[in-house]
Structure 1
Amino acid sequence: MKLLILGGTEFVGRALAEDALARGWEVTVFHRGRHPAPPGAAVLHGDRTAEGGLAALADGEWDLVADTWSGAPGAVRDAARLLAGRAGRYAYVSSRSVHPEPVAAGATEDAPVVEGSPDAGDVPYPQAKRGGELAALDAFGDRALLLRAGLIIGPWENIGRLPWWLLRLARGGPVPVPGPRDAGLQYIDVRDLASWSLDAAARGLGGPYSLISRPGHATMGRLLDACVRVTGSDAQLRWIRPETALSIGVEPWTGLPLWLPEGPTREGIYEGNAEKAHTAGLRCRPVEETVADTWAWLRSVGGRPPLRGDRPAVGIGEEMEARLLAAAG
């Protein structure tokens, strides 16, 4: 298989490239040159947001194009149109965020989606992803595979959610965590996303697929226990009531990454229906493996994960942590 990845050097794109290279595929990555490409991949440079930025893609044919773009949909439109006659299929990494909030528990791919346009400029993330989907569909039709990922974690994570917990727990001592301990988590390891996506594209699948583990694949307690074990620290988890954390001003999801209190937002993110993808072969590795491999990667980069500059920082500071610990008693 000949694979072209628009991106291919960070997180999801890198996982796609590394998985394809391990299969013996011929991989080309098209990117701006800000990060090194995976060893073994051919490289084309260009900036798809600049005039003439797709010039490096003027020639060449590929069996599959994988696109990880999350900005203005017009960039997906231009690339997809340019490649439609020279590529067999187009896999667009979208998001379950295309479903407007609140998303009902158990929502499938058929749930309503936000309005979007392939011609849009800078728009909010849900509309950007929906516009990207429409751009891929407009150019490739049923040859477009829409990968609606949920929460993505694993090695090379450039948002910082799981890395924040690992680095904080590695420092040891008492660590406040809003309960309940058995609150379910639903996510996908980036490598499982990559593996299934390449398999699905090679099989000729098209249309939207929600890519997440089944609800309850892990719990907050199980994930954090795994973090303590792999770091070898003396951290002690201090579980506190969710309402206490909220009253003190902790921001769910960003202040304490991955944490969401009970309510519609939690149901939409952690109780989605992904049976379509699981029936088509999606397999999700144990949370302990994801945690261990992410920690190994973090150590390899000196505990300094390369974070995206277009996303807000995650985590709480010492002052907020002290207030939470005091409330925990």
Structure 2
Amino acid sequence: MDTALIIGGTRFIGRHTVREFRDHGYDVAIFNRGRHDNPFITEDVVHVTGDRTDQDALDRARRQIKPDVVVDCAAYHPENVRSATEIFANTDAYVYVSSGAAYGEEVIPKREDETPLCACTPEQATDDSWETYGPRKAQGDRAVFAAGDRGVRAMSVRPPIVYGPYDYTNRFAYWIDRVQAYDRIVVPYTALRHLVYVGDVASAIRAIAERGDAGTAYNVGTHTLPVLTEWIELIADTLGTSVESVEVSERELATVSLEPSDFPLYREYPHVLDTHKLESIGWEATPIPKTVTTTVDRVVATAQTIDQGPDRTQERRVLETVSS
């Protein structure tokens, strides 16, 4: 039986990736600092404690676990990826979780072999701000390509915004909360943007590990592209309710000192990823209604506090302005 080592593994993408590999017959170990609750504490999942920025700790994990597959869910700086591809150079597969934010041009769609990546300066490569996230992920991809050129079977997966159970960002949960609580909600005019279900990211990671080409990046995303109002309708259908989505402009939001970007999942320009390359190795997306149902059920069951988006008082004022 093959063994998968998940760097990360207890929060969101990593948590689902652990489940994906276990469900498909792998022995699984996780490597992290142990700062978050371990959901696999009662299961046969080995936990190795260590800081992924510590190369000696990573190497100890390699020697202890002897993984066939390594999935890197916690590499936020290019140096993390470069060192990991050296430490795990002899594994069957190393998969780096990159991001659709790595793309440096706004084109439709964004293709792995055509669309330029973000540039990344040495200063950006060691920064921790959101503004440098895309450049840092892009430079991590370049480290994967360089490793592939050295004969390492290193690959990357590029998801857009990810939704699903255990999503601690609450970006998708904001809209679930609004639909559950109100029958009329404010929705900014927003560009088309790709989303992807977390379980599909996990299945894509396994597909890439098993069948991907060395030194290659793979986009992952929904096969169809609902606009935000359609996502809201899918949420309402799952909840067995109805909602009126009142689409408003930047000018109308400005009357209460709001901007479209204050709303989760807003995007000014379409963000669409071509997924043909991933599909060519046998990956398939889960039907969207099923993923929305699973996500809504989890959010409702946990009754979690949503700390995203404008407060309802501001929304009411916008709705009053539109109605008048």
Question: TM-score range, shorter-chain basis?
Answer: 0.7 to 0.9
Amino acid in the other structure paired with 1:68:
C
Match of 1:242 among 249, 252, 260: 249
Helix, strand or coil: the match of 1:69? coil
**Is 1:104 aligned to 2:107, yes or no?**
yes
How many angstroms does 1:143 deviate by? 1.1
- Answer yes or no: is the 8 Å Cα contact 1:19–1:194 preserved in 2: yes
Give the percent of matched residue pairs that are identical in Structure 1 and Structure 2: 25
Gaps of 5+ in 1: 306-312
**Is 1:325 aligned to 2:322, yes or no?**
no
How many angstroms does 1:162 deviate by? 0.8
Tell me the distance in 2 between the aligned counterparts of 1:212 and 1:188: 5
Structure 1 partner of 2:134: 126
How many angstroms does 1:303 deviate by? 2.1
- Answer yes or no: is the 8 Å Cα contact 1:196–1:281 preserved in 2: no
Deviations 1:116-148 (A, max 9, x none): 379932251012112222333444545111101
Matches within 5 A, 1:118-197: 120-122=125-127, 124-141=132-149, 143-179=153-189, 184-197=192-205
Matches within 5 A, 1:7-22: 7-22=8-23
> Residue 67 and residue 251 in structure 1: after superposition, are their counterparts in 2 closer, same or farther (change >3 A)?
farther
Deviations 1:214-262 (A, max 9, x none): 4x532323211122233345x6324233344453443335x221233xx
Indicate the larger mover: 146-155 or 238-247.
Answer: 238-247
Amino acid in the other structure paired with 1:158:
Y
> Residue 55 and residue 112 in structure 1: after superposition, are their counterparts in 2 closer, same or farther (change >3 A)?
closer
Structure 2 partner of 1:256: 263
Structure 2 partner of 1:309: none
> Residue 58 and residue 148 in structure 1: after superposition, are their counterparts in 2 closer, same or farther (change >3 A)?
closer
Deviations 1:41-76 (A, max 9, x none): 211111123585436415132211100125222223
Tell me the distance in 2 between the aligned counterparts of 1:100 and 1:224: 29
> Residue 90 and residue 322 in structure 1: after superposition, are their counterparts in 2 closer, same or farther (change >3 A)?
same
Amino acid in the other structure paired with 2:298:
W
How many angstroms does 1:277 deviate by? 1.9
- Answer yes or no: is the 8 Å Cα contact 1:37–1:43 preserved in 2: no
> Residue 41 and residue 299 in structure 1: after superposition, are their counterparts in 2 closer, same or farther (change >3 A)?
farther
How many angstroms does 1:274 deviate by? 2.2
Helix, strand or coil: the match of 1:257? coil
Structure 1 partner of 2:207: 199
Structure 2 partner of 1:25: 26
Tell me the distance in 1 between the aligned counterparts of 2:260 and 2:248: 13
Structure 2 partner of 1:310: none
TM value normalised by structure 2:
0.85
Amino acid in the other structure paired with 1:44:
V
Helix, strand or coil: the match of 1:218? coil
How many angstroms does 1:321 deviate by? 0.8
**Is 1:36 aligned to 2:38, yes or no?**
yes
- Answer yes or no: is the 8 Å Cα contact 2:229–2:245 preserved in 1: no
Indicate the larger mover: 47-56 or 34-43.
Answer: 47-56
CA RMSD between the two structures = 2.6
How many angstroms does 1:196 deviate by? 2.2
Structure 2 partner of 1:230: 238
> Residue 62 and residue 117 in structure 1: after superposition, are their counterparts in 2 closer, same or farther (change >3 A)?
farther
Indicate the larger mover: 148-157 or 46-55.
Answer: 46-55
**Is 1:303 aligned to 2:307, yes or no?**
no
Amino acid in the other structure paired with 1:116:
C
- Answer yes or no: is the 8 Å Cα contact 2:31–2:49 preserved in 1: yes
> Residue 64 and residue 55 in structure 1: after superposition, are their counterparts in 2 closer, same or farther (change >3 A)?
closer
> Residue 237 and residue 77 in structure 1: after superposition, are their counterparts in 2 closer, same or farther (change >3 A)?
same
Deviations 1:176-215 (A, max 9, x none): 22348xx74422111112112202211243301111224x
Aligned pair count reads 309
> Residue 238 and residue 137 in structure 1: after superposition, are their counterparts in 2 closer, same or farther (change >3 A)?
closer
Helix, strand or coil: the match of 2:175? helix
Tell me the distance in 2 between the aligned counterparts of 1:127 and 1:199: 26
Amino acid in the other structure paired with 1:107:
K
Indicate the larger mover: 20-29 or 203-212.
Answer: 203-212
